[in-house]
Amino acid sequence: MNQFDNCATFHMNPNKQDHGALSIDAKQDDVIWLKFKDDYPVAELSAETIASMFSAFGDFYVFKDSKQSVLLHFYYFDGTLLPAKSTAGFIQYLEQNLDRLHLA
């Protein structure tokens, strides 16, 4: 099925790229899942408070995933703290600051 006319279409050439799958992969490149430590009260925090913890890194949407985890969907990275301007650079920063940010 496709999103345009609800018909199922398949390529007869198995070597042809699946542009739909490539598009989904590209959109997910800017999404980061964060799990906080069990003793940190994330469930009691608002999405706005959680966003303020990471606002210096750029512009993003916050989605509370569970009681202890959130999704950050970036649409702009600020180059001041992240010279790489990418999710990889952000993850590298997080790995160096796990305890300070209460991340598991």
DSSP 8-state code for residue 13: -
Domains annotated for the chain, with CATH where assigned, are: 30-96 (3.30.70)
Whole-structure pTM value = 0.73
**pLDDT digit string, tens, across residues 19-72:** 666 776 677 778 999 999 999 999 899 989 999 999 999 999 999 988 999 999
**SS3 call for 42:** helix
- Separation between Cα atoms, residue 58 and residue 76, nearest integer Å: 5
Strand order through the sheet with 58-64? 31-35, 69-77, 58-64
**pLDDT digit string, tens, across residues 62-99:** 999 889 999 999 989 888 888 888 888 899 999 999 99
pLDDT for position 3 = 57
pLDDT for position 36 = 94
Query: Which residue type sits at 2?
Result: N
pLDDT for position 71 = 93
